[in-house]
Chains A and B, each alone.
Chain A
């Protein structure tokens, strides 16, 4: 277990370093003088000189990279060209919205996906499986931003049941907060739910035909115990890793969902930054996403090794 985790930790660290190099090189690849790009509107020679000094643009590339990493580790991503605020402050207000939205979406997706996947596997060859498969295929094929538009059009505007846009911080008004987030979270969760459903179904079909399930049946256990304790527990180990890998899709989805529902999160900040050519913000967003992806997948590996005793406890006999 220690060896496994060390390898994983080493890989994650390596990927993190490579990712930061890529982002750093990306900034170098900006058209023209990076100082010009970073300066925004204020292009007086003095301003440019100040920026060159601030970002160390007059020094060797390796030194620049060192400085860049040092700043990033301290959470210093410079100032937004558009608002003039420190990027770290903008992230501090935007991130909680995105994190809450994503966590809600994952919870909804896991509940729907695992539930439907189990039903589809257990009711194999019956209408329930057919329905679950069809729903999963639609969930994989529907453009979620369009689903969001329809939801606003037909659920929010037409019935007034849900707010069409806007956000209330959780600690100001928990109920209002959930009221604003539930629809976006469902929309964001449907795609992930479809993927989880298909993975759960195939993992369940595998474990339901496994010998240990036959043993469990032969012991006289109830179907609930056979399916839940024996088949599902093994299937969930597989599903956990899948969810980690889908995180990239979830982040992409969150950006679009926030844009549609007007949520003041990380995604909206990103899109605004692209069109304003707000390079410090874009740079921070790209680096932060990559870091989040790597760290969370490392945590998923950790979790995975905790659920699966074959990794947790190294075999001492056998």
Chain B
């Protein structure tokens, strides 16, 4: 117990070797490598989509509607307006990632300080606990419905609704890790030495909670991506004609009989994005687990 806690406290050395150990474990895990590679490609493609997509998003080709995949010039076919499915998927993935990152960022920016406070200050624990209960009582879709009713549907609202819905999860995880860290000897020692609460939180607890925050983020991201797709599908998120994988599916639903690929491929893209995040998140969690592989 004491032996384990001392090195983390005194120097940055051990956490550094801890980091190299995490990287080594990740490199040894083929699933981690595959998922990371796919993710890296997806992110690069999505970021560069406006420049590398073969067509612009709203470039219609009425002479070529419902072209099946493999049609020359349209690798993944076209939709009801003759728009290129591949180009729209690339730009839709970009929107998914943007909303996903915004939502998770919102959740972390609000959730991490609350989680730290709840775990560290006993007096705040009950208050923050009730706040968590309150947030949990509003499922993200209902939040999105409420926000859309008040402010009208938009990409921003979708991100906010998803982000708020993810706050309780962040608070819970950070709170329990803070409780754990607070009980360790080096934190107790800092408190005895007269360090201020903010110093202890910022200097000792937050850096050691990084791995937990990282894992929580990789869990939250795919959920946020799926959330965006749902909201856009229902018309509560990104508004057409801006491309989104969710809205693409909503349109394709009406023409599913004529163009099943248009109703299939965007969903596959969402799944691949979410799946690779989830696989990588699992690998990261295993690599960070001090108990070794489970």
Residue numbers of A with Cβ under 8 A of B are: 11-12, 14-15, 18-19, 22-23, 26, 29-31, 137-138, 140-143, 145-147, 149-150, 152-153, 157, 205, 245, 247-249, 251-252, 255-256, 259-260, 270-271, 274-275, 277, 279, 282, 285-286, 289-290, 293-294, 297
Residue numbers of B with Cβ under 8 A of A are: 129-130, 133-134, 136-142, 145-146, 148-151, 153, 165, 222, 226, 229-230, 233-236, 246, 249, 252-253, 256-257, 260, 263-264, 266-267, 270-271, 274-275, 277-279, 282, 294
Partner of B137, one of A15, A149, A279: A15
Cα–Cα, bound, A286→B153 (Å): 17
Shortest beta-carbon distance, A252 to chain B, in Å? 4
Query: Whose C-beta in chain A lies nearest to the C-beta of B229?
Result: A143
Cα–Cα, bound, A274→B260 (Å): 29
- For B264, list chain A residues within 8 Å (CB): 150, 153
Cα–Cα, bound, A277→B266 (Å): 30
Query: Whose C-beta in chain B lies nearest to the C-beta of A153?
Result: B256
Cα–Cα, bound, A282→B141 (Å): 12
Main secondary structure of the interface of B (DSSP, over half): helix
Query: Whose C-beta in chain B lies nearest to the C-beta of A277?
Result: B149
In the complex, the answer to whether A274 meets B138 with C-beta atoms within 8 Å is no
Main secondary structure of the interface of A (DSSP, over half): helix
Supposing A146-B267, A248-B140 touch, asked if A11 and B145 sit within 8 A by C-beta, the answer is no
Shortest beta-carbon distance, B180 to chain A, in Å? 17
Partner of B150, one of A29, A150, A293: A29
Partner of A282, one of B133, B145, B165: B145
- For B141, list chain A residues within 8 Å (CB): 251-252, 255-256
Supposing A145-B230, A146-B249, A153-B256 touch, asked if A26 and B146 sit within 8 A by C-beta, the answer is yes
In the complex, the answer to whether B142 meets A286 with C-beta atoms within 8 Å is yes
- Can you list 20 A-B pairs, Cβ within 8 angstroms, ordered by A? A11-B130, A15-B133, A18-B134, A30-B149, A30-B150, A142-B274, A143-B233, A146-B229, A146-B270, A153-B260, A153-B263, A249-B139, A252-B141, A256-B230, A270-B145, A271-B145, A271-B234, A282-B145, A285-B142, A293-B137
In the complex, the answer to whether B253 meets A149 with C-beta atoms within 8 Å is yes
In the complex, the answer to whether A286 meets B145 with C-beta atoms within 8 Å is yes
Supposing A270-B145, A274-B145 touch, asked if A141 and B139 sit within 8 A by C-beta, the answer is no
Partner of A256, one of B137, B151, B234, B256: B234
In the complex, the answer to whether A152 meets B249 with C-beta atoms within 8 Å is no
Identify the 4 closest CB pairs spanning chains A and B, nearest first. A146-B267, A252-B141, A248-B139, A141-B274
Query: Whose C-beta in chain A lies nearest to the C-beta of B139?
Result: A248
In the complex, the answer to whether B139 meets A289 with C-beta atoms within 8 Å is yes
- For B134, list chain A residues within 8 Å (CB): 15, 18-19, 22
- For A289, list chain B residues within 8 Å (CB): 137-139, 142
- For B142, list chain A residues within 8 Å (CB): 251-252, 270, 285-286, 289-290
